[in-house]
Amino acid sequence: MTKLLPATIGPLLVNETNLSRAWAKIFLHILDHSGHEITPLVLSLTGFDNDGAPKQEENLYAALDKLLSSKKQRTIEDVAYTIFPQRMWKIANGDRAKLFALYRDAFPRYQAMNPKGNNRGLYFERLISYGRGRCEGNQLEWIISQFNSRPGVRRSMFQASVFDPERDHIPDAQLQFPCLQQISFEPTPEGLVINAFYATQQVLVKAYGNYLGIAQLGAFIAHEMKTKLVRMNVTVGIAKVMDLSRNSPDMLPLIAAARECIASEK
């Protein structure tokens, strides 16, 4: 039987135009309440530039990245890269077929570099190499090609799965992957909306990179659909901060940066 942890925090909706402020509000909401879990969390983000990049605050980003590095956790960029390989997209120079080929070639090396963390796959790998389905399992290629092939394509077609019961319904006590279960894309007259659902999410060590990676994925899909990214919605069943030490000296700079980030909104 699953052990239920006490003092969960009720639902939270964060509607923001700045990614750093959005993350800071989520983090501080947990920090300022008893308990360490928000159940559920809904983030809705707008304010993207013409290239689909979200607004961010440098001080908050740097403070979080410094803490993650000190704890030997993946950096924000590294977490984002698991969802969308932004650096590789730049190398591909706007050629999505080249992007997909480069990533497939590189994926065995990514697994070898972190066999424990990546042995079951990575998010972008599941999206373009699911193992079965149309376009040889490349769900993103199917979505883009169907959208571009003809007008009036049903909107329910534009969704991609990460979680796979055949591979992921296993009895392990802990499983790092996949927490992100599904992504959908909604073309609107104003632009593209990307939606993502997480069963659970680690706010301190993963969430910021998760949000950045989803935004970058949305910008990529918008580019290929010849539109712009206008909104990102992320729903999290359980958003949690594990081993939260509110008065730990190494946490104080991040807490200060988060509060400063929120204060800058006023």
How far is residue 217's CA from residue 19's CA, in Å, rounded to a whole number?
15
How far is residue 98's CA from residue 89's CA, in Å, rounded to a whole number?
9
How far is residue 54's CA from residue 231's CA, in Å, rounded to a whole number?
10
DSSP 56: -
Domain boundaries, the chain: 8-263
How far is residue 15's CA from residue 22's CA, in Å, rounded to a whole number?
8
pLDDT, tens digit only, all 266 positions of the chain: 444 444 688 899 999 999 999 999 999 999 999 888 999 999 999 999 999 999 999 999 999 999 999 989 999 999 999 999 999 999 999 999 999 999 999 999 998 888 877 878 899 999 999 999 999 999 999 999 999 998 878 888 899 999 988 888 888 777 778 899 999 999 999 999 999 999 999 999 999 999 999 999 999 999 999 999 999 999 999 999 976 677 788 899 999 999 999 998 76
How far is residue 36's CA from residue 240's CA, in Å, rounded to a whole number?
6
Looking at residue 201, what is its pLDDT?
Answer: 96
Angle at 167 between CA 162 and CA 171, to 5 degrees: 115
Q: How many residues does the chain have?
A: 266
CB 252 within 8 Å of CB 15: no
Longest dimension (CA), the chain: 57
Q: 8-263 has which fold?
A: Thymidylate Synthase; Chain A (3.30.572)
* DSSP states of 28-94: HHHHTSSSSEESSEEEEE----TTSPPP--HHHHHHHHHHHHHTTPPPHHHHHHHH--HHHHHHHTT
pTM of the complete model:
0.94
Looking at residue 166, what is its pLDDT?
Answer: 87
Looking at residue 7, what is its pLDDT?
Answer: 62
